[in-house]
Structure 1
Amino acid sequence: MAFSNPYQTYQKQAVTTSKPEELTLMLYQGMVKFIRKSKMAIEQNNLEESHIYNLRAQDILSELKVTLKPGYTISDSLLSLYDYMKSRLIEANIHKSLDLLEEVEGHALELSETWSTAIKQKNTKN
C-alpha cells in the first residue's frame, strides 16, 4: 500500500483551491526559491542540480507569460520583463553565473513583494 506525502497533498490542495492572484504569487515565490537553489548548487559545485533548478525558474517564467492578457500596457511591460529575465537565466545557466542569478532574483523578489502588497490592498478594500 502506497502512502501519499502529506506535504505534496497539502501543496496540491493549496494550488487547486487558490484564487488566480494567489497562484501568481505562488509562481513568483517558486521562482525565487528555484533561483536560490540554483545559486546554492553552484556554490556547492553541483552544476547538474543548478541546471535543473534554473530550468524550473525558466518554466515558471514561461507559465507567467501565458497568464498575461494581451492588449494591456502592464501585460506588455511584464512580457518584456519576463523575456529579459528568462534570457538572463539562460545566460546564467550557460555560464553558471551567480551575478546573473542574483540579478534575476532581485527582479523576482520585487515582483513577489509588489504582488503580495497588491493582494493585501485588494483584500482590505473588500
Structure 2
Amino acid sequence: MYARAAKQYQTVGNQTGVMDADPHRLIQLLIDGALDRMAAARGHIERNEIEQRNKMLNSAIKIISGLQESLNMDAGEVAANLERLYDYMTRRLFEANVKNDAEIVDEVIRLLTEIKDAWDGIRDEALQEMARSGQ
C-alpha cells in the first residue's frame, strides 16, 4: 500500500526524503507536494500561463490519487470519508484546470490543508503505533 504511494510521489518529481521516510512521513511529503503544486498552479492561473497551470494541476491530481490509492480501506469510516474527499478534490482540480479558476484551487488547498493539519497532529501517535506493530 505505501509502496504505491512512494512510487507515485517519485513520479511527480520530488524525491526528497522519500526513501528514508516512515509511512506517516511519506503521507506528509505527499500532502506537501500536492499543496506546493496547487500553489504554483494558482500563480500560473493568475499569470494566464496555461501550459504550466496544466502541468502543476495534473501533478497535484496525481499526488492526490496516490494518497487515495494508499488508503487502508479496512480502517473503517475515516478511510472511506478520505476516499470520497480525495475523489472530490480530484474532480474539483480537473474543473479548475478546464475553467482556469483559482477559487476552485483555493478550495482544494483549504481542504487538503485541513487534512495536513490533522495528519501532522497525530505524528507522535502514529510513530508509537508503528513501533508497537514492528514497522
* TM-score bracket for this pair, using the shorter chain length: 0.7 to 0.9
- Alpha carbons of 1:13 and 1:104: their partners in 2 closer, same or farther (altered >3 Å)? closer
Distance 1:121 1:63, change over 3 A: same
Deviations 1:93-113 (A, max 9, x none): 000101100000001111111
Structure 2 SS opposite 1:88: helix
What SS does the aligned partner of 1:104 have? helix
Does residue 1:28 correspond to 2:51, yes or no? no
What TM-score do the two structures reach when normalised by structure 1? 0.85
Distance 1:51 1:21, change over 3 A: same
Using the aligned pairs only, state the percent identity: 25
Residues 1:52 and 1:13: Cα distance change in structure 2 (over 3 Å) = closer
Check 1:123–1:65 CA distance in 2 against 1; reply closer, same or farther (3 A cut): closer
The equivalent of 2:45 in structure 1 is 42
Query: Which blocks of at least 5 consecutive residues in structure 1 are unaligned?
Result: 1-10
Give the gaps of 5 or more residues in structure 2. Answer: 1-13
Q: Give the 4+ runs in structure 1 shifted more than 6 A.
A: none
Question: Deviation digits for residues 61-80 of structure 1, max 9, x if unmatched?
Answer: 11011111123111110000
Choose the corresponding residue for 1:81, options 80, 85, 106. 85
Q: Distance in 2 between matches of 1:120 and 1:94?
A: 40
Q: Which residues of 2 match residues 11-22 of structure 1 at below 5 A?
A: 12=15, 14-22=17-25
- What TM-score results when the alignment is normalised by the length of structure 2? 0.79
The answer on 1:112 being equivalent to 2:116 is yes
Letter of the 1:115 partner, please give it: W
Deviation at 1:120, TM superposition (A): 3.8
What's the RMSD between the two structures over aligned residues?
1.8
1:12 is displaced (CA, Å) by 3.6
SS across alignment from 2:122: helix
Residue 122 (structure 1) shift: 4.3
